[in-house]
Amino acid sequence: MFRTHTCGSLTAKNIGETVTLAGWVQKIRNKGFVIWVDLRDRYGITQLVFDTERTDASVLENAKSLGREFVVQIKGTVIERESKNLLMPTGEIELLVSELTLLNASKTPPFTIEDKTDGGEDLRMKYRYLDIRRNPVKQNLIFRSQVAMAVRNYLSGEGFIEIETPYLIKSTPEGARDFVVPSRMNEGQFYALPQSPQTFKQLLMVGGMDKYFQIVRCFRDEDLRADRQPEFTQIDCEMAFVEQEDILNAFEGLTRHILEHTKGVELEKFPRMTYDQAMRKYGNDKPDIRFGMAFGELTEVAQGFGFPVFDGQELVVGIAVPNGAEMTRKEIDELTEWVKRSQVGAKGLVWVRYQADGTLKSSVDKFYNTETLQKWAEKTAAKTGDMILIMAGNADKTRSQLSDLRMELAKRLGLRNPEIFAPLWVVDFPLLEWDEESGRYHAMHHPFTSPKPEDIPMLETNPGKVRANAYDLVLNGNEIGGGSIRIHDKSTQQRMFKLLGFSDEQAKAQFGFLMDAFEYGAPPHGGIAFGFDRLVSILGGQETIRDFIAFPKNNSGRDIMIDAPATISEEQLDELNIALTLKVKK
């Protein structure tokens, strides 16, 4: 037997037993007459002891030549430790070694294999296999596996069938660029890697599979924003013969199950909000509702008093910062500078202090009396001791700027507690969104999303107003899932493609297979996909999804461990019949 136990399993109960362990040398303390070695494997650390009195001279000699991260197999007797470490499961015992086999030596690792390492991000990524030996990364990967297992258990229990869909496909638009793969056997032609299995899962519904899921890799060639990965994982799901309500219930159930089984957290029924409400109340379609600071619209009670910054603006809107009245001028100035940065782009901030004695003091006292300020306090739900911060301008922009400020303040005030989980559904998204650059409408979710039946008459006359049967699941200010009821008839799908600027020929060339399928008894259907990496990182209480992916790419989309992407050989290019003329940008 290679090992009888793991490095995390021996306790006082095993004292006196002869055991065999295998693992990596974490640490060596050589006192001359005695050597202690911490031996580590996935399960924990066990202290080994070698000494001049009890250990064979040759074994002791071998122990002296060990180095960090050497791989060894050892046989020994479990003995009671003199100085116990009750913080460790194995802290009451140590192993008196009788046999030591060196399985493999190791170079000195480029960074310390400790919970807090001295390795920078790049170094850790280059030697990711060493990084994975560290507890924090290891634990994250184990946690990820537990979440995946909870998903499979729940969905299988609900009658969902896990089905794999192909990776070498034709474009499925989710609003990003495709990664393409040249086909050797079909000269001059390319596959696209799926941005999602969207069309396939719909075809599975036409195929009568009824309830499908897949934990699946998706590929999107986007300009990488912080914490986006070009390949990422979704929990992808689809159901037939359902209405929106059925889907929300099914996946609220899944989310609740995951939280209960991986975090021991029981959630109340998830609140729901329309897209419109979310934008008005939080300036954001993925509001973080772990804390208040909801928007109060002040346009009506702030205009017409001769204050030029507010008058004539589309929207005047404010938030009450809890216990913010004590903010100094300096702090307010700093916040004002913060909102004026180009990333936020606001023009400035108006403030009103709701002082502890109940009086109100503002930066615009010249224009407004107490009675008016009192109305602002009511609309922003400010209490004594709060600070009201106000912005004005174009409605959409101002909402988004105030939303940025709200999130920043919440961060500074420590209101984004990672131990609290506040999910909600955002429903009734607009079907389309106007894209300035291309001068046309884009599908806000994707082109297969069905409009609300009552809004269909507006499709051609007022497309921007049409709402979709689309929903997002939001958790702690992050969109963790999104989906829709789909179009399942050919003519509506054709109308949709037309709206999105596809000619009939283009639509047929790209999605003819789907519209054909709709002519063979496609059932009403709908679904959702969860961003698995993001979900796991939120549940794990951390911000970056990279920490929950075994082999992630860096911010330039590179895997710096295997050094990909890379050029390919002339031979490979020839086989593919590709002549490479790179238009290298300076």
Closest CB to ligand ASP among residues 214, 362: 214
Q: How far is the CB of 483 from ligand ASP (least distance, A)?
A: 4
Closest CB to ligand ASP among residues 346, 529: 529
Q: How far is the CB of 333 from ligand ASP (least distance, A)?
A: 42
Which residue is listed with tokens 């979709």? 468
Choices 124-132, 341-349, 521-529, 550-558; region in contact with ligand ASP by CB under 6 A:
521-529
Write out the two tokens for 262: 């991986």
Choices 41-49, 120-128, 287-295, 479-487; region in contact with ligand ASP by CB under 6 A:
479-487
Of the CA atoms within 13 Å of residue 38, those in its CB half-sphere come to: 17
Closest CB to ligand ASP among residues 137, 432: 432
326 Cβ contact list (under 8 Å, min separation 6): 385
> Are the C-beta atoms of 195 and 219 separated by less than 8 Å?
yes
Which DSSP letter does residue 191 get?
E
Write out the two tokens for 443: 């599908």
Closest CB to ligand ASP among residues 318, 527: 527
What is the phi-psi region of residue 119: left when phi exceeds 0, alpha when psi lies from -120 to 50, beta otherwise? beta
Closest CB to ligand ASP among residues 205, 528: 528
Q: How far is the CB of 454 from ligand ASP (least distance, A)?
A: 21
What is the b/e burial string over 287-312, where b = at least 16 CB atoms within 10 angstroms of the residue's CB?
bbbbbebbbbbbeebbeeeebebbee
> CA–CA separation, 287 vs 475, rounded Å?
8
Q: How far is the CB of 222 from ligand ASP (least distance, A)?
A: 13
Q: Give the interface size with ligand ASP as a residue count (CB under 6 A).
A: 10
Contact with ligand ASP (CB under 6 A) among 45, 432, 528, 538: 528
Q: DSSP characters for 109-170? A: PSS--SSS-S--HHHHHHTHHHHTTSHHHHHHHHHHHHHHHHHHHHHHHTT-EE----SSBS
Closest CB to ligand ASP among residues 173, 324: 173
Instruction: Give, as ranges, the residues between 263 and 322 that touch ligand ASP (CB under 6 A).
Output: none
E strand or H helix at 432:
strand 432-435
Of the CA atoms within 13 Å of residue 248, those in its CB half-sphere come to: 20
Measured CA angle at 475 (ends 471, 479), to 5 deg: 50
Q: Radius of gyration of the chain from Cα atoms?
A: 30
Determine if 484 is a binding residue for ligand ASP (CB under 6 A): yes
Choices 64-72, 292-300, 339-347, 527-535; region in contact with ligand ASP by CB under 6 A:
527-535
> Are the C-beta atoms of 317 and 302 separated by less than 8 Å?
no
Of the CA atoms within 13 Å of residue 386, those in its CB half-sphere come to: 20
Q: How far is the CB of 487 from ligand ASP (least distance, A)?
A: 12
> CA–CA separation, 285 vs 477, rounded Å?
9
Choices 20-28, 347-355, 381-389, 522-530; region in contact with ligand ASP by CB under 6 A:
522-530
Q: How far is the CB of 460 from ligand ASP (least distance, A)?
A: 24
Choices 123-131, 151-159, 393-401, 525-533; region in contact with ligand ASP by CB under 6 A:
525-533
Build a one-symbol-per-residue string for 164-203: x at contacts with ligand ASP by CB under 6 A, - elsewhere: ----------x---------------------x-x-----
Q: How far is the CB of 389 from ligand ASP (least distance, A)?
A: 34
Closest CB to ligand ASP among residues 217, 508: 217
Q: How far is the CB of 541 from ligand ASP (least distance, A)?
A: 25
E strand or H helix at 478:
strand 478-485
Pairing of strands 44-51, 93-104: parallel
Choices 208-216, 359-367, 480-488, 492-500; region in contact with ligand ASP by CB under 6 A:
480-488
> CA–CA separation, 322 vs 338, rounded Å?
19
Q: Please, what sign has the CA dihedral across residues 401, 403, 409, 411?
A: negative
- For residue 236, the tally of other CB atoms under 10 A from its CB is 25
3-state secondary structure of 463: helix
Closest CB to ligand ASP among residues 10, 529: 529
Q: How far is the CB of 480 from ligand ASP (least distance, A)?
A: 11
Main-chain phi, psi angles of 186, to 5 degrees: -125, 85
Q: How far is the CB of 118 from ligand ASP (least distance, A)?
A: 39
- For residue 136, the tally of other CB atoms under 10 A from its CB is 14
> Are the C-beta atoms of 180 and 190 separated by less than 8 Å?
yes
Closest CA to 20 of 6, 37, 34, 9: 6
Q: How far is the CB of 528 from ligand ASP (least distance, A)?
A: 5
Closest CB to ligand ASP among residues 229, 362: 229
Closest CB to ligand ASP among residues 63, 468: 468
Q: How far is the CB of 544 from ligand ASP (least distance, A)?
A: 21
Build a one-symbol-per-residue string for 432-451: x at contacts with ligand ASP by CB under 6 A, - elsewhere: --------------x-----
Closest CB to ligand ASP among residues 201, 553: 201
> CA–CA separation, 508 vs 568, rounded Å?
34
Closest CB to ligand ASP among residues 196, 284: 196
What Cα–Cα distance (Å) separates residue 458 from each residue in 50, 243, 276, 277, 434?
82, 22, 18, 21, 16
Build a one-symbol-per-residue string for 128-157: x at contacts with ligand ASP by CB under 6 A, - elsewhere: ------------------------------
Contact with ligand ASP (CB under 6 A) among 193, 319, 466, 529: 529
Q: How far is the CB of 387 from ligand ASP (least distance, A)?
A: 39
Q: How far is the CB of 139 from ligand ASP (least distance, A)?
A: 28
Contact footprint for ligand ASP (CB under 6 A): 174, 196, 198, 446, 482-484, 527-529
